[in-house]
Structure 1
Amino acid sequence: MILRGPRPDDVRGQADRQREDPARGFDEEDARRWISFGMTDAWAAGERLVFVVEHQGRYAGTAALKPDSDGNARLHYGLSEWARGSGVASRAVRLLLEFGFSTCEFRVVHWWARVGNWPSRRVAWATGFRLGEAIPGLVRQNGRPIDAWTGWIGRDDPRSPRRPWFDHPVLETPRLRLRTWRDDEIARITAARTNAATAHFLPFIPQPFTADDARLWLRSLAEQAAAGIRYNWCIADAGTDVGLGNLTLFNIYRDAVGDGEIGYWTHRDAQGRGVMTEAIERMARWYFATEEEGGLGGRKLVIRTAASNQAARRVAEKSGFHLAGTERDAFPLATGLDGRVTYDRLAADPSPH
């Protein structure tokens, strides 16, 4: 993979890439003008420093830095479909950053992408950008404001991921499948999250939990995984694939994998069937397994809940967790403060099953 200037035979590749995104409204004549003189003119004017990305001897896309008045630049990149998924974009961005910081002496390079553009975010993550929260209405596309992810990287920053990106393993038992949630499960999520127990023990969750709340929650799950903050599994029936509940794993990384905390909830039609204890046991086996065994190599799992939440406490105890202590007036309920109980389970503890 190399970065280079444009050549006449790049017109076809540029035109093919533009056809992959018809919403932009570009045609083959636009591709010819861009390759023939548009890129060169942009360089000459100092408006955009654009390179052709060549991979396997052919045009694969472009990568560019757009200087600003503060001595910094904004990153742009795009690949043809055939070149995606093999690390080409990440390698191109690293080369471009080296050029920008060493030759152009930029101090900071900025990046943004429309919320939901996961391939672009994956490249920014892989190349060491510091990623922030989404900014509502940051940019305009097709005449309307859109929410955007943002990030930045400095000249002395490493060009590698700052945190892990959590790719959820699919974990199975004879009757359950732990997988990621899907966008077509909105109704199932809203029904599970709208109830008196949730309103009492988790008063920060909106009631009723609407379809819009569920969509925001699903987006948050994906962003938490991308930021290396939380795993969230849908606990699904192995036969029907119907979602039965949610299992969350968080607070995993300190200096290394050590302690992890879990949270959980079940749909009302799945309660009383041992679904959650079975799901926790399957996840715990993966969490405590060594990396060589395909796990995380964790040391301890923790559950924290309200002292009066008997249902959550029964799940903890049936899942082999031991009561570690109670902190008074530390768990906020809808009606005031409750004690917060902590349960833990070590990798060396025997399985309850």
Structure 2
Amino acid sequence: MPIPDKHPVLTDGVVTLRAPLPDDVQGQIDRQREEPGRGFTGEDARRWIGFGITDAWTSRDRLVFIVEYQGRYAGTAALKPDSDGNARLHYGLSEWARGAGVASRAVRLLLEFGFTTCEFRVVHWWASVGNWPSRRVAWATGFRLGETIPGLVEQGGRPIDAWTGWIGRDDARSPRRPWFDHPVLETPRLRLRTWRQDELPRITAARTNEPTAHFLPFIPQPFTADDARLWLRSLAEQAASGIRYNWCIADSDSDVGLGNLTLFNIYRDAVGDGEIGYWAHADAQGRGVMTEAIERMARWYFAPENEGGLGGRKLLIRTAATNKAARRVAEKSGFHLAGTERDAFPLASGLDDRVTYDRLVADRSG
């Protein structure tokens, strides 16, 4: 592979990738202090900056660059070649440089170098499940998400599941699909926000009941704390994959979760139709909470993008014909009955008719 003997300098005018310099030692030490569990010492940093990076490059074991931002050490980015003519991506930033798009810029520079200069065909990426900053960078730079592999890496002496991904030479270095960042939507009584890990008891209580068992038989009963943990993990995955928004409907004063509002089936390239689903905790039912939450979300969904909305055209609600509570919410939220499909909604007791309600941007809530 045509790997240069020495580090080239790569820059996009904001971020620079370069060879290590003596002044980088302190930056490396500071970064190591941000990961106290890793057991690195100041001497480790001096060896790594002084000759470790250069030796790794010379042996072609790892092509490591210093990431420079605002004229100072900001982290490292590397490609590790393999015997098949491909490479694996590594990157890490100091805390002070995070949140400004530095990692994404560094990775794009590194990919261009790897594909054009080194002639790698494929660059692979992995990160332990839950490492959302790393996944966000992979998403932003165009990686295709692959399988989640159980026990792929070891941390603290135990196996850890890992996300995987890859990008090819001719692939665009930009996101392949949206990442749904939830806006916080408020009304005088409510706040629509994301769910928190400390709300497991609230979630399990809300999703364990006879109506849920009857109308949504795919939800396990009783809904345990483990089920709630898996559900919260799936919410994060759905947002990261551009599949669903899931808001916790919380009381604006106490911040107690009252229910959940989901928005899905959005065609992001040209937002047109979206579908919503919802459920409420028992102590929130009969208070108009869901109607108020749907109305607030609908205003955001239908608002033009230049006003901070999605610019949607139509919202849909599909439910069982015998689900009187869900139908009442739809009607009070300004949705119109659009049609009925016979024997199309699975219940615990068999099939029910499925009714579809819709609401257009020009409609007003009831």
1:350, distance to aligned residue in structure 2 (A)? 2.2
Query: Residue 206 of structure 2 aligns to which amino acid in structure 1?
Result: A
Instruction: Give, in whole Å, the separation in 1 of the partners of 2:155 and 2:193.
Output: 34
Instruction: Give, in whole Å, the separation in 1 of the partners of 2:200 and 2:180.
Output: 22
1:227, distance to aligned residue in structure 2 (A)? 1.1
The DSSP-based 3-state class of the residue aligned with 2:119 is coil
Query: Residue 149 of structure 1 aligns to which amino acid in structure 2?
Result: W
Does 2:331 match 1:349?
no
Alpha-carbon displacement from aligned partner over 1:215-254 (angstroms, at most 9, x marks no partner): 1111111111111111100001111111000000001115
For the 8 Å contact 2:145–2:163, the answer to whether it is kept is: yes
Match of 2:324 among 307, 310, 314: 310
The DSSP-based 3-state class of the residue aligned with 2:233 is helix
Who is 1:126 aligned against? 140
Does 2:24 match 1:10?
yes
Who is 1:253 aligned against? 267
For the 8 Å contact 2:316–2:356, the answer to whether it is kept is: yes
1:40, distance to aligned residue in structure 2 (A)? 1.1
Who is 1:33 aligned against? 47
The DSSP-based 3-state class of the residue aligned with 1:93 is helix
The answer to which of 327-336 and 96-105 deviates more is 327-336
Who is 2:203 aligned against? 189
Instruction: Give, in whole Å, the separation in 2 of the partners of 1:64 and 1:180.
Output: 34
Alpha-carbon displacement from aligned partner over 1:162-200 (angstroms, at most 9, x marks no partner): 111111111111111111111110100000000111111
Does 2:277 match 1:234?
no
Alpha-carbon displacement from aligned partner over 1:115-174 (angstroms, at most 9, x marks no partner): 111111111111111123532222112221101111111111111111111111111111
Alpha carbons of 1:133 and 1:172: their partners in 2 closer, same or farther (altered >3 Å)?
A: farther
The answer to which of 141-150 and 81-90 deviates more is 141-150
Who is 2:184 aligned against? 170
Instruction: Give, in whole Å, the separation in 1 of the partners of 2:167 and 2:316.
Output: 35
Segments of 4+ in structure 1 off by > 3 A? Answer: none
Match runs of 1:1-353 below 5 Å: 1-253=15-267, 255-352=269-366
Q: Give % identity.
A: 87
Instruction: Give, in whole Å, the separation in 2 of the partners of 1:160 and 1:340.
Output: 39
Instruction: Give, in whole Å, the separation in 2 of the partners of 1:174 and 1:180.
Output: 18
The DSSP-based 3-state class of the residue aligned with 1:140 is strand
For the 8 Å contact 2:143–2:165, the answer to whether it is kept is: yes
Who is 2:9 aligned against? none
1:348, distance to aligned residue in structure 2 (A)? 1.0
Instruction: Give, in whole Å, the separation in 2 of the partners of 1:6 and 1:350.
Output: 62
In the alignment of these two chains, the number of paired residues is 352
Instruction: Give, in whole Å, the separation in 2 of the partners of 1:35 and 1:13.
Output: 10
The DSSP-based 3-state class of the residue aligned with 1:264 is strand
1:255, distance to aligned residue in structure 2 (A)? 3.6
- Calculate the TM-score normalised by the size of structure 2: 0.94
1:336, distance to aligned residue in structure 2 (A)? 1.2
For the 8 Å contact 2:276–2:316, the answer to whether it is kept is: yes
Instruction: Give, in whole Å, the separation in 2 of the partners of 1:178 and 1:310.
Output: 24
The answer to which of 287-296 and 134-143 deviates more is 134-143
The DSSP-based 3-state class of the residue aligned with 1:26 is coil
For the 8 Å contact 2:145–2:165, the answer to whether it is kept is: yes
- Calculate the TM-score normalised by the size of structure 1: 0.98
For the 8 Å contact 2:178–2:268, the answer to whether it is kept is: no
Instruction: Give, in whole Å, the separation in 2 of the partners of 1:57 and 1:140.
Output: 35
